[in-house]
Amino acid sequence: MANVVVVGAQWGDEGKGKIVDWLSERADVIARFQGGHNAGHTLVIDGEVFKLSLLPSGIVRGGKLSVIGNGVVLDPWHLVKEIDQLRGQGVTISPETLMIAENTPLILPIHGELDRAREAQNSVAKIGTTGRGIGPAYEDKVGRRSVRVADLADEATLELRVDRALVHHDALRRGLGLEPVDRDALLKELRDIAPEVLEYAAPVWKVLNEKRKAGKRILFEGAQGALLDIDFGTYPFVTSSNVIAGQAATGTGIGPGSIDFVLGIVKAYTTRVGEGPFPAELHDADGQRLGERGHEFGTVTGRKRRCGWFDAVLVRQTCATSGVKGIALTKLDVLDGFETLKICVGYELDGERLEYLPIAADQQARCTPIYEEMPGWSQSTEGARSWAELPAEAIKYVRRVEELIECPVALLSTSPEREDTILVTDPFSD
């Protein structure tokens, strides 16, 4: 049985939620391996909309085990809120359907406060953080001062962890003009929320390895997109974790040899939220049209997304760093009606052509796109469920994308609805 990793191959918002939900029908376990509640997934199932930002997308499908791995940073208060919201929509959530790794670091209220204070005072270059504390929580993780899920079960350990964190945070807060942390109030908040988190705590690494040995199919779900990876993204305008496929192993405790197929989710055009370089960005009527037709507003922040033509250079690059075997191409229907389409096939930097995005930030900012034009199509592709239902020009566009990114299309999505998907290669049959 194949185990599949799903990663966003652009700057996030590629439609991972729908694809993971669609694939979860074939999986036994769905495991989230990085990020926090700063990246949203919108699922549309039989006309009902589910909005998730922390829980794995498979949670809405009954009979599956959903897992939050140690690579995630967890806001326990948001967790409880999201669980209550989904239960209100009829979703069953229990320790039998949801597990949280015991070594998962927690996002505390002080992390969000620090995140927002630093962004507000950053007059040099704003990162575009959501202000939800994800970055500071990861900083505490590598600084060895995190409060982790297991710590909630032992009072002495909990106090020790909080005291260690406050030595660091109170010093930072003084420099930012913030009041010291109320230690007792923070401990009370943690004690109060502890029972609602601990009921889901489990040795996830052990459970996943046992499931693998038993021949169960595991679907690993990432958040954000590979261009926001802390190492391989457009630094410093990136998230605070590794987003590429290799993180699936370290973010859950399962060996890299257990991963059989990496599926990259790719939008048929390009979008990005927040600050940072975007060579193929459009500031004209075409860009506005893409945003309006694609409903390009962030699930979590509500921020308007920046839009541009498909950038084959970036996707080819992220397919390489994540070892992508096939892509799921989403939102093809948004391109319906364009007389001419453009694809970025290279960059020009200081008079020279580049086939990749350089690492240096100043060079990234100076890269200008080299476009290849293709004829568009007037027919609608929305809701198509087979190649025969697609216009010839749409098929040519998909095939050209495959050539340019050097990776085949495994799935093609033509609307937010779960069943409006054309299956080319089943990742689980690898």
**Contact status, residue 17 vs residue 43, Cβ threshold 8 Å:** yes
The alpha carbon dihedral of 422, 425, 429, 430 has a sign of: negative
Distance between CA atoms of residues 278 and 229, nearest Å: 15
Other CB atoms within 10 A of residue 84 CB:
11
Distance between CA atoms of residues 14 and 264, nearest Å: 9
Backbone angles phi, psi at 344, to 5 degrees: -75, 120
Burial 239-266 (b: 16+ CB within 10 A, else e): bbbbbbbbbbbbbbbbeeebbbbbbbbb
Distance between CA atoms of residues 33 and 254, nearest Å: 11
The verdict on whether omega for the bond into residue 416 sits within 30 degrees of 0, i.e. cis, is no
**Of 37, 45, 36, 38, the residue nearest 18 (C-alpha):** 45
**Contact status, residue 58 vs residue 68, Cβ threshold 8 Å:** no
Q: Which helix (H) or strand (E) segment is 266 a member of?
A: strand 261-267
Helical residues (DSSP H) of 176-311, grouped into ranges: 183-198, 204-213, 247-250, 285-293
Distance between CA atoms of residues 255 and 248, nearest Å: 9
Burial 377-394 (b: 16+ CB within 10 A, else e): beeebeebbeeeebbebb
* Residues acting as catalytic residues: 13, 41
